[in-house]
Amino acid sequence: MVPIKLKNPSISSAIRLITRKMGLCNVISILLLMLLQITNAASNAEEYQTYIIHMDHSHKPAYFLTHEAWHRSTLKSLSSTSPADRDDSEMLLYSYSHVMHGFSARLTPSQLSKLESSSAHVATYPESFGKMFTTHSPKFLGLRQNLGLWPAASYGQDVIIGIIDSGIWPESESFGDKGMSEVPERWKGACENGTAFTPSLCNKKLIGARSFSKGLEAAGISISKQYDYDSPRDFLGHGTHTSSTAAGNHVLSASHFGYAKGTARGVAPRAHVAMYKVLWASDSEKSAASDVLAGMDQAISDGVDIMSLSIGFDFLPYYNDIIAIGALSAIEKGIVVVCAAGNDGWAENSTYNGAPWITTVGAGTLDRSFTATLTLDNGLTVEGESYFPESVYISDKPLYYGKDNASKAICYYGALDPKEVAGKVVLCDNTMKTDVDGQKEEVRSAGAYAGIFMTDMSLLDPQDFVFPALIVPISTGAVIREYATQANTTKVKTLTFVHTNLGIKPAPQVAYFSSRGPDPITPGILKPDILAPGVDVLAAVAPNRLFIEVNNYNLASDYQLMSGTSMAAPHVAGVAALLKAVHREWSPAAIRSAIMTTAYSLDNTKTTIKDQWGGLPATPLEFGAGHINPNRAMNPGLIYDMDVQDYIEFLCGLGYTAKQMSAVIRRSQWSCRQQPTELNYPSFIAIFNGTDGSPKAKNFSRVVTNVGDGTSIYKAFLEVPSGMKIAVEPSSLTFTGKNQEQDFVLRVEIDNNAPKVTYGYLKWIDQQNHIVSSPVVVINY
């Protein structure tokens, strides 16, 4: 044991004296107790956390020229409350001027307490973290080169779409500026310097690119230096994909990985794009609220016309929902805000971003499939789903089916004998004991040449097809199984891959992952608003990102298929850009109304759009007003318009406190009517429970504005199921000029024995064949 030598002789003498008086063991005990107290004191030292602070800008002293200067001064005044005495430059992350008046900063509890006692303080939001909601589609939407909305809107010329996402790959052909107009003079944005990114990479197509990561870094969440870039450059491909979907400028008859007949042209190919990177390659794969808010704030300041977000945070009241707060500020400045509804489709009440001023988008399928074709030795030919990306030709291979062993028949984990299946095509039965992904891995690891799998609900992604695999319906698989069990020798004559089929029925369907209503925050507003393509959408991605590993080769591509409501939202953002180009005077609510009231709810078999999860007819709780129909949205006839005051009236009816109201609407004074008013929403939903009296009925008041030309007479046509009654007063609306308004009252009533969800439609139809359609939904708990 090495003795400790104390430099201070008086301390040494004191310790020797105490030791003689108390004994060595007691002294050691006292020293250990002192050490424990010191350790506790250190652990109890105040820790810094990130908070978003909403301030009342009317309290800003006039001698501060900017809000940021005021924010920095405020933080500096707090430094004396902290032993560390941090300066404001270390504390401040962002200063916000548009989404709210406030800032985000790292604060101790005592600093926060002092700040919250200020009369200028409005609200505090602890840092939170959101998640990302992770093309033939323009043709499926009905967009045509020389007819309808595309040429009328000049393909979105001069409209600016701001994408809040994971960055962008500027070299992609989708962001080439051939044929683009000059950058609008009103544009205030910029392209920043950063890792592998310079302002010279921007052009007349990509006119802005910024990144925001201070919140994530302040939370101690590391950003990967191996996989990401400290710049607007895309690490994931997601932001590049959403930007390309909304406004890609490159026409591609894509054969990448054999996805023939695809097209990667965006919905608004002449619109300008600005990227605000808030999603990063981190150990959490999440985005910080302070970063998202900063991206939205900058987009508003830069002058975007459309804002598209494919991010969601926890379900919170609007006064705690940073996307809702930021979006309302954008709406007030005439910016259309489009958000993904989320990918929690297995649950009711799962819609994200459902504030009534946001256009909330669910995901639907396209009428396109990627397939492989199997021909057996007996002449039977079947087709099934396959995303295997290589154009291989398999011929004259034995067909293996474990008919004498139940585990082998279902390709259960560890059941297949490599000696039996090597070099063969293996057939796997449908089972509840494992899923197709597990069966596929078992067949691959056993050394089979290819696999045939049976299911009526394939949930595999394109990148799951790492070896030749074919997915067939259970009924088709039964026919193959019959051949495999009855024939003396079974053989696959041919098995070919990389086929693309168009016109698949039924389509569209609600994607199985698309989040469903009723909205968890305000169930009295029907969400999602609209359905748009979100399954197997082909668009540009970061070309250096591994897509799939096949035969020990890593494959990447400039274009890939992706699915999610995050793919659906940019479709609607693109359509909104086209409508903005045609109708510059329309408000965000008017654009959403046009999109909703012209949507369709019947698929290409002329029956109600079905739910991919189970194949049964869906309801407006899944598809909202229906599937987007861009050409009809250009000329809707009537619109349900709203402005910020309408949203304030709506918030007044929620029973918020003055401070909560101020947090949402970013002002200290507002007015509300004595009686709560309904939002002038383009859809209707009534919710009843067992305590409601009989009959169960509700009245709705609405105002419609004529945006058509000349005199029009609209008559109400009602589609009403059994058990429901709908009445409209008046039943006819006469307009003598453009922008004239008319109001009406709709009454809905249901029987006591009505099912849980019942819905019909109100359709206003005039002599010029305008059909203004609104779903009328009743939920009966």
Catalytic residues: 165, 238, 566
602 within 8 A of 627, measured Cβ to Cβ:
no
Give the CA distances from residue 127 to residues 70, 122, 412, in Å, rounded to whole numbers and listed in that order. 22, 16, 45
Give CA–CA dist 738/95, Å, rounded: 43
How many alpha carbons fall within 13 Å on the CB side of residue 324?
22
Strand-pairing partners, residue 376, are: 492
Largest CA distance in the chain: 110
Alpha carbon distance 476, 456 (integer Å): 10
Beta bridge partner(s), residue 561 = 538
Q: Euclidean distance between the first and final Cα of the chain, in Å? A: 76
Q: In the structure encoding, which two tokens stand for residue 88, read together?
A: 């404001």
Indicate the SS3 state at residue 695: coil
> Distance of CA 194 to CAs 40, 213, 232, 466, 618, Å?
43, 12, 7, 35, 47
The angle that helices 588-597 and 565-582 make with each other, rounded to 10 degrees, is: 110
Residue 380 tokens read as 């039977």
Which pairs with CB-CB distance under 8 Å and at least 24 residues apart come from 732-738? Answer: 733/704, 733/764, 735/706, 735/708, 735/711, 736/711, 737/706, 737/710, 737/711, 738/706, 738/707, 738/708, 738/709, 738/710
Task: Indicate the residue type of 710.
Answer: G
Residues near 185 by Cβ (< 8 Å), separated by ≥ 6? Answer: none
**Tokens standing for 39?**
């350790």
Q: Are 716 and 663 in contact (CB under 8 A)?
A: no
For the chain, the residue count is 781
- Strand ranges, E, within 618-770: 638-639, 684-688, 696-706, 712-719, 724-729, 732-735, 741-750, 757-765
Residues 6+ apart with CB under 8 A from 58: 668
Determine the 3-state secondary structure of 276 from DSSP: strand
DSSP annotation string for 529-555:
-EEEE-SSEEEE--TTS--EEETTEEE
Name residue, tokens 């994909």. Answer: 241
The 3-state DSSP class for residue 510 equals strand
SS3 50: strand
How many CB atoms are closer than 10 A to CB 565?
33
- State whether residue 129 is helix, strand or coil: strand
- How many Å apart are CA 245 and CA 142, to the nearest integer? 15
Instruction: Give the β-pairing of 696-706 and 638-639.
Output: antiparallel
Q: In 79-213, which ranges are continuous DSSP H helix?
A: 88-91, 109-116, 137-140, 149-152
- Residue 532 CA to residue 362 CA, distance in Å, equals 6
The identity of residue 496, as a single letter, is: T
Residue with tokens 């393909």: 155
Amino acid at 216: L
CA 606 from centre of chain: 29
Please report where in the chains the tokens 């006119």 appear, as a residue. 207
Can you tell me the distance from the alpha carbon of 183 to that of 202, in angstroms, rounded to the nearest whole number?
11
Cα 336 from Cα 628, distance rounded (Å): 16
How far is 472 from 427, CA to CA, in rounded Å?
Answer: 11
